[in-house]
Amino acid sequence: MSPRLPLLLAAGLALAAPALASHFELEAYDLRKCLQWSITRAEQPQHSAAWRAAKARARGGLEVFQATADLPEGGQLHKFGACSWRQVAGKPRLGCVPALDFPLAGATFVLAKDQRLRTATVLRCASGCDQKIPDLVYELHDDTRSSLATREREERARSARLRRTCAGLR
């Protein structure tokens, strides 16, 4: 075997790793502004002041996250934050830095005790919680084993408070 072959294999695996990683998406509901946020890692650099501010804060294990919401009047809202998603004692933990215009800024989320959903893991706000921060965040699973009816039923259950609170606005 050529001495270059292991290096080429390692380089190929490093390039393919993001493609092999499972899809990561969080969902949160802002009951004050009547918004449903879809939050993912910002994979590509954006040319905006908000992205640059988040990138500047994303040091030491933090990554840039992007939150997107459809506005009731039409259009989309995009916000960027610096957050850490990690496993602590085998349980997911999400923490986002403060002082950025991001739906989860300054809050820490831990695994909620009640885990009734098959298609999502429920995280509850543990610190940095105030009226501007959603109290629950859902890590959505790429669960192809659950039926479409189950996925739709659980999506309705997750968004029930938003629909009730914001019924007059939508």
Say which residues have a Cβ less than 8 Å from residue 166's Cβ, sequence separation at least 6.
Answer: 31, 34, 72
47 CB burial (10 A radius; 0-12, 13-18, 19+): exposed
Do 26 and 139 contact (CB within 8 A), yes or no?
yes
**Which of 58-62, 100-104, 154-158 shows the lowest mean pLDDT across its residues?**
58-62
State pTM to two decimals. 0.82
Domain boundaries, the chain: 21-165
Mean pLDDT (the chain) is 86
Q: Which residues pair with 38 in a beta bridge?
A: 27, 68
From the centroid of its chain, how far is CA 165? Answer: 22
Strand partners for 51: none
What would the pLDDT profile of 88-145 be if each residue is shown by its tens digit?
A: 999 999 999 999 999 999 999 999 999 999 899 999 999 999 989 999 999 999 877 7
> What is the predicted pLDDT for the residue at 170?
52
Going by pLDDT thresholds of 50, 70 and 90, the confidence category of residue 16 is: very low
Mean pLDDT on 51-63: 93
- The residue ranking higher by pLDDT, 127 or 43, is 127
Provide the 3-class DSSP secondary structure of residue 158.
Answer: helix
pLDDT, position 22: 57
State whether residue 167 is helix, strand or coil. Answer: coil
Residue 11's pLDDT is 40
Q: d(Cα 38, Cα 56) in Å, to the nearest integer?
A: 22
More confident residue, 137 or 60: 137
Confidence of residue 44 (pLDDT cuts 50, 70, 90): confident
Which residues lie below 8 Å from residue 65, measured CB to CB, with a gap of 6+? 39, 40, 41, 42, 54, 80, 81, 82, 83, 96, 102, 104
The two tokens of residue 43 are 């994979």
